Structure 1
């Protein structure tokens, strides 16, 4: 290779004059046309070019770098034959005749051994592995360029005269790309959208990786190519795709430290979200993408873009980031590293096959479960963890992770738990965890109750049913059926490829269907906040099902919430109101335990409990009052008629709910009053709420509606009990340690109130 210098491409015209054009090493969309001149001789053309080059330097001192060549270039003219296009009866037809054309190209051997080929007259540029295929490549390019053109387009390819290339140094120009001993700083756009991983890979904050999910030798071979081979890492979540990219950056940094002349790429990490961040006006993010391409063009860098599906996702204007970056990757102008799962890869093969063309596909497999105890021990050693786990505890942990976190793969889910475990430990205190300790820690980590995940603690169906009945009054049979699902989960007998349980609660309004769902969430996950409630009355219109699959920043769709918390209870409230498109989505969720989001990614529902509520089978003409009840057969018959057979057969249990009796409503009154009495405002002042039996019966009678069930009860207690107390406490801020009686007007209890409590009494009247 020679020192860098300029190259001028000369074309001889029929009148003997010459056109000289400065050859660019690379081109991008925003570049100005290269300087050119027209004269009678080479010297005249070069003199005119020098004037233009000096003006270019005045406008931008770095612009000359675009025209500095290392390769020795030569020109070659070849004859090619094409089938021209003709027009017959106003229809374009490709003729069978062959028309010979002459085409001149410039070529030079690169340091990597590949050949750079340019056709300056038409701005074509290629990098080919062997010079022997240049004719075939140019033949295809010429045929493609003429396809669809009018016959006169052939004249653009006519050969006027000799075409040749000359090295040129006008003298007195500053042609050095770098000044001083420091390296050229990266273009500002790269700092805006990402960070360079290779330079920081050897820092103390980057621990060594303990699992090699791919072949390092192959990776380095791809990285050494000029340009580096674009890579697509295919594997499930948690298998270590991102960790392998960090590992590649570390190995590149180590090789550079050993060999200063090693030509290995830098790795810039970014994402689709970071590329479009702050780009609010039309065309802004497209301009940023073009600047990224310009900054990375033939610069021996990798752009690590995270998820491939995010590149292909349409932006608000309908186009995608991939529409700009992927063509540049196909031509070898830039090199990409992207990730996707196996399901996403198959979807891309069906719908976006062209998007996969630039990539070398590398599949990363998860390690076997039997390998995980040794890998976790090695990981803790690398992290210098103060918490050690006994060998039996490690095997127990692997079992828990396999059973209860099927949405992610090894080794990622194991390493995340170990990181969390280290954060929970007391600083500086070493300890060892045994199997029971591991189960307790995992219960805290996931929110699952210890009695469901530990084989050492029995959890009978009757015990689980009793826990459910504490918060659900009057539905003993429903609680027992729901507890059976939890018992099956405890025994590990549920279908691993479906949700933990699929329950349809059928019955009148206000009898405890939603409350049982909340109680299931409390029993299974420790808190009702782990319940994802979807009101199906909001999904009645055509197209509304798409909202369940939307993903992106700030979106709280079903797909996003389950992806963030796979261990959850999903409640589809009033399922019969949903549009039929929603039922199509439910077929995949209930049958296969998964949902495909708007980006084509799979959302795992196999660790969720799916509950649905319905009023089907409840007639408005039923007898009013307490205890009016219909048989379970009526609900079942109505549900079978409303649901398609393929959906109905995916439901594990249809659980009927009966109407509440008067005794049930009284128990609900006690439950709600107990919650009210435990509020912070009363406990802080040591105030005791005392509700007389007549008042409890009054609340039960007025808080129950035959059509609405016990739903009005909470509003009644707030309005007739808590609101008057709040007014009284606001007026008397010093009231503490007193009894707050609740009585019915005109009853003996009201008349028997002591004088000191009469002012504090809440009197209920009609």
Structure 2
């Protein structure tokens, strides 16, 4: 009997048992086919070397079957069908020696013709059986909707790759040539490792073992890649695209196609070897070590036309290994090899390709750039759908369709700094991990979730981005009760006399957070106009506190500092050639750090009109780019332009009060040329709501006074354990003094500071405050005095 591998030996033993169960006198090819499909029963061996060999052959057969049909467990289904056809008992006959039939002997002889050193593997046996399967095996395969030819093709392709031969020419090759090719493949690991094995990673071999994939889509890019590789000259493609669009995945998908025997007329027998520049540079102590290693790799790759090098981040070869005073680097070593037929695939981002490779015309002309764009929403969802089985298996959860849709939509909305499909895959992967491990005390607290649904993905996005869950859920259709519903009451409890302004703010934000408007701009853009001290800035702070978790989430830009035209550079950075080029502008830096915030443009009327040109595109598209090309996302921010303009300077309070359904009118005042020149029509069209804050009335000021005093008195009682009460006369006096239509609430704060805080501070610093538990503020002809309340 021919020398056989560990897997073929175990398959033979199982075939003998099957023959005994079927009450047969000889081992037929059907029994042997069952044995080849039953290698999983032999994986319990404790011999590590035998287990490694067995698993490799088992995985190869399973990959072939799973690729040929859609059945979840094709090997089990085929085994059962064959047993029904040939019959059998539950237990094999003991002590009976089984022999091969003549047909089975013929299968071994045919399999040996493809093997190296006369050693027959499971794949060789399967190929020999499927060449002449017979009616029993054909019928069993037909039950799964496949034929023997459907399985034979990938089996032959697998053998052809191992032999280093192109599949269509396997049968026509001379036997000695086949033996030579097989020996060259199997003997590659003997002796000293080659440069390619030492510094490279064989993607084709990993694809054969099922370690890559699954993949979906990118047919256009794959076809372009194969076209360039099939050219006679300049056959070095470079996949160019932003980080996260799937450039490396396209190369791995090509390796899978080669492993499956596809495109064999162009890539048959080829193998893709990934070359790591980091591995080449590691432990290169002396000058010349890198050059020696790189030249060794390139010599081996150039000597074997079946090798295709793959270099991720190929722009790193420019400048690698260059020493001070030397002109040569790794790219200079590559150039002659690329010109003489070496095939190389690279990946790079657009900016890095233009900066490093595009700047070197001699290197650039040796590559053919293939643009890889970000997939659309539907393509990204299909890619996640293909990846879902592996994620479910890894996390032990079930991922619903709504979770895949949410992962794509939410990552597109709330993660503008990354690209599809990478950001959606990362979000779904994290959601699966959170579902499997919801808390640190799983034993006594929360049980692991069995499903990943929309809410799980929304919670994950909220945790990663810091966006409140209400905003995330609202973007997906308002499936949960939103925190925003309490904004109206929250603002009215803290702002006095501005009920109409609060209502308009609340209604606009309801529409924004409900996700009804499909527009790319910010959540909302407001213009707050009104006299000083009426609550414009305080409203912005309260919005940041309620919607984004704290008043520190407000980005405040004092626009009076941008009165000069040249101050635009402070917002987006200085242009090239000017001082400060390369430094982030204030606006871009703040939005990149806190994209979910309230941006207050205070004293907007004091800024130079040229400054607001920066905001035109920002209010329209929700994004802004600085002079270095760095983008800041403003789609989840609220912009407020605050101005202390009077009605005579262009705005009419009465127009808004009498016609609340219409926009605030703007009247140009020739006498005040600095009135609202910044509000050009282009900017006005991008503002969602023009909101006028009315001057505070006496009742509103009295309410603000009570709120201010309540806060101060509560703090006094907390820190010093004493109470202070104001008499009726003291309250009336403070209300009359602090009311100022011109200065608004700011006069109130000055009044409370002068008549309440100053005398209280004297009592506290002198130590007298602790002598009495209760104090009383009274009014007399000298003002307000604080006396013990006994």
- The TM-score, its normalising length taken from structure 1, stands at 0.52
Q: 1:693 to 1:210 in 2, by over 3 A?
A: farther
Structure 2 residue aligned with 1:381: 392
Aligned counterpart in structure 1 of residue 468 of structure 2, from 440, 447, 458: 447
Q: Decide whether aligned partners of structure 1 residues 509 and 676 sit closer, same or farther in structure 2, where only a CA change above 3 A counts.
A: same
Match of 1:586 among 601, 611, 615: 615
Distance 2:403 2:272 in 1: 39
Q: Does 1:467 align with 2:512?
A: no
Match of 1:572 among 590, 601, 618: 601
Q: Does 1:515 align with 2:538?
A: yes
Distance 1:256 1:199, change over 3 A: closer
Unpaired segments ≥5 residues, structure 2: 1-191, 259-269, 276-299, 339-343, 575-580, 658-663, 669-674
**Contact 1:593–1:604 (CA<8 Å) still a contact in 2?**
yes
Secondary structure, aligned partner of 1:256? strand
Pick from 363, 366, 369: which aligns with 1:332?
363
Higher helix share: 2
Tell me the residue number matched to 1:233.
240
Q: Which residue of 2 aligns with 1:668?
A: 704
Question: Offset of 1:298 from its aligned partner?
Answer: 5.1
- 1:496–1:606 Cα contact (<8 Å) kept: no
What secondary structure sits across from 1:359 in the alignment?
A: strand
The match for 1:341 is: none
Alpha-carbon distance in structure 2 between the residues aligned to 1:269 and 1:401: 28
Query: 1:256 maps to which residue?
Result: 273
The equivalent residue for 1:637 is 667
Report whether the alignment pairs 1:597 with 2:626: yes
Q: Distance in 1 between matches of 2:685 and 2:485?
A: 27
Map of 1:692 onto structure 2? 726
The residue number in structure 2 matching 1:535 is 558
Count residues with an aligned counterpart: 512
Whether the aligned pair in 2 keeps the contact of 1:223 and 1:265 (CA below 8 Å) is: no
8 A contact 1:449–1:524 mirrored in 2: no
Relative distance call for 1:448 and 1:181 in structure 2 (3 A) is closer
Q: Distance in 2 between matches of 1:305 and 1:716?
A: 65
- What is the match of residue 418 of structure 1? 428
Cα distance in 1 between the residues matched to 2:499 and 2:481: 22
Q: Deviations over 1:473-507 (max 9, x none)?
A: 32111110011112212443324133332211111
Which residue is equivalent to 1:481? 504
2:710 is the counterpart of 1:710:
no
Give the Å deviation of 1:613: 1.0
Shift of the alpha carbon at 1:512? 1.2
Unpaired segments of 5 or more residues in structure 1?
Answer: 1-179, 187-195, 277-283, 313-321, 337-357, 623-627, 755-766
Contact 2:647–2:653, Cα closer than 8 Å, also in 1: no
Aligned partner (choices 680, 693, 696) of residue 657 of structure 1: 693
Shift of 1:716: 7.3
Q: Is 1:430 aligned to residue 453 of structure 2?
A: no
Partners of 1:591 and 1:500 in 2: CA distance? 11
Contact in 1 for aligned 2:504/2:691 (Cα 8 Å): yes
- 1:404 and 1:727 mapped to 2: Cα distance? 52
- 1:267 correspondence with 2:312: yes
User: How far apart in 1 are the matches of 2:323 and 2:490?
Assistant: 54
TM superposition shift of 1:588: 1.8
What aligned pairs does 1:203-352 form with structure 2 within 5 A after superposition?
213=218, 215-216=221-222, 218-219=224-225, 229=236, 231=238, 233-234=240-241, 239-240=245-246, 255-256=272-273, 262-268=307-313, 293=331, 306-308=349-351, 322=355, 325-328=357-360, 330-332=361-363
Question: Could you say which residue in structure 2 is the equivalent of 1:555?
Answer: 584
Per the normalisation by structure 2, the TM-score is 0.51
Deviates more, 1:488-497 or 1:255-264: 255-264
Pick the structure with more strand per residue.
Answer: 1
8 Å Cα contact 1:542/1:581 also seen in 2:
yes
Contact map agreement 1:473 1:667 (CA 8 A) in 2: yes
Distance 1:255 1:561, change over 3 A: same
Q: Residues 62-86 of structure 1, C-alpha deviation per residue, up to 9 Å, x if partnerless?
A: xxxxxxxxxxxxxxxxxxxxxxxxx
Specify whether residues 367 and 752 from structure 1 end up closer, same or farther in structure 2 by C-alpha distance, changes over 3 A only.
closer
Distance, in Å, in 1 between the alignment partners of 2:591 and 2:646 is: 31
